[in-house]
């Protein structure tokens, strides 16, 4: 079973689809560092360039599946949420590729706001209409990676299409597959203890960003939210999946790890400082211990469930960005398994003579 992979990045989706039995016919990505990462770890199928230029080279039947996550900055609550952001139009380019290849199934990944916010209702309606016009039933859902054994809370939108099916038929296939793959949450401490303290051969130090107190701390019910320290990175509660790994990590936006809490006494400086502030204590009155530090690249890789030994290319900031931009490979496998079930049903329907898209 072949896949055309678009907006591929470092290959998180492709890893999940490979695990589910697919192989990549062609992948396309503009970022040169991500392309180098893909070729070094996954294979030579990567085409470096604009997806819109690749479309003319595709043909009907090139693959049984088309997958990809068009850039989401125009839709994300982390961005400006600008409907006119030109990057948002790349969703249309993605469906141009689906129309050209005419696969049995497709998977489009994006931010959860596409399904959860009324602001994007018209955009979602246009996606549904485009799929229907091409003869695909469509099931749209938001999945949290933490529900499937990924040690990270990360909510993503997925649109899964089935050729010659109705929306209800695709939903009836996908829902039980996804439900069957749900697991208990994996706490962040499992990642930290597996890799060991920062500075070892398995977990080299990679973020030089220092940790200081926020001049105007933002308080929340727990120490693991709000803003107690400089930058947008949050302390990680080791008893729970980590917060979402972001593409802007590497500097002050990198999440925080307390090695005393994970490897030592179990005491959390963040919790102690939060308690201090809650009692009316002055901001910055305590001393930040050396054990409170930023998350490493290797830890970021593990939280995104890229396999051990997966080597990222480019400057440090580019490697953090590739990791943060990716679909966790573990979540990609869940979606790929559902897409394979849709593909099998679509094939069965075609052989029975009721493929409406033929």
Which residues are tagged catalytic? 72
Angle at 42 between CA 297 and CA 100, to 5 degrees: 120
Question: Is residue 294 classed as helix, strand or coil in its secondary structure?
Answer: strand
Kindly give, in sequence order, each residue whose CB lies less than 8 Å from that of residue 94, ignoring residues fewer than 6 positions away.
6, 7, 51, 66, 68, 70, 108
Residue with tokens 């107690």: 228
Phi-psi domain of 230 (left: phi exceeds 0; alpha: psi -120 through 50; beta: other): beta
What are the strands, taking DSSP E only, across 180-231? Answer: 213-218, 227-229
Query: Which has the closest alpha carbon to 39: 317, 299, 314, 229?
Result: 314
Backbone angles phi, psi at 216, to 5 degrees: -125, 80
Helix (H) / strand (E) element for 127: namely helix 121-133
CA pair distance 161, 66, nearest whole angstrom:
10
Residues comprising the chain, all counted: 358
For tokens 């990609």, what's the residue? 332
Q: Which of 300, 299, 209, 314 is nearest to 251 (CA)?
A: 209
CA 320 distance to own-chain centroid: 13
């Amino acid at each position: 079973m072949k896949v055309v992979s678009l907006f591929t990045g470092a290959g998180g989706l492709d890893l999940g689809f490979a695990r589910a039995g697919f192989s990549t016919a062609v992948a396309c990505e503009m970022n040169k560092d991500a392309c180098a990462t893909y070729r070094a770890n996954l294979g030579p199928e990567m085409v470096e360039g604009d997806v819109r230029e690749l479309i003319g080279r595709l043909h009907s039947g090139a693959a049984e599946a088309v997958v990809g996550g068009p850039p989401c900055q125009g839709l994300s609550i982390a961005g400006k949420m600008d409907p006119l952001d030109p990057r948002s139009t790349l969703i249309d380019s993605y469906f141009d590729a689906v129309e050209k290849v005419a696969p049995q199934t497709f998977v489009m990944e994006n931010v959860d706001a596409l399904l959860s916010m009324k602001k994007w209702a018209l955009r979602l309606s246009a996606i549904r209409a485009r799929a229907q016009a091409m003869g695909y039933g469509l099931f749209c859902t938001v999945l949290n990676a933490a529900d499937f054994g990924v040690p990270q809370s990360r909510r993503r939108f997925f649109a899964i299409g089935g050729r010659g099916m109705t929306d209800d038929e695709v939903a009836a296939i996908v829902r039980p597959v996804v439900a069957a793959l749900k697991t208990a949450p994996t706490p962040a401490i499992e990642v930290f203890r597996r890799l060991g303290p920062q500075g070892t051969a398995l977990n080299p130090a990679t973020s030089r960003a220092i940790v200081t107190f926020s001049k105007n701390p933002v308080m929340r019910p727990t120490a693991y939210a709000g803003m107690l320290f400089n930058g947008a990175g949050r302390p990680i509660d080791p008893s729970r999946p980590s917060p979402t790994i972001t593409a802007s990590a590497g500097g002050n936006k990198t999440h925080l790890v307390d090695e005393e809490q994970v490897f030592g006494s179990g005491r959390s400086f963040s919790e102690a400082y939060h308690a201090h502030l809650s009692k009316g204590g002055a901001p910055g009155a305590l001393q930040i211990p050396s054990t409170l530090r930023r998350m490493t690249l290797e830890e970021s890789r593990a939280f995104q469930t890229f396999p051990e030994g997966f080597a990222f290319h480019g400057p440090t900031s580019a490697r953090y960005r590739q990791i943060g931009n990716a679909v966790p490979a573990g979540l990609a496998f869940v979606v790929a398994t559902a897409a394979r079930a849709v593909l099998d049903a679509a094939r069965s329907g075609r052989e029975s003579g009721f493929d409406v898209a033929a």
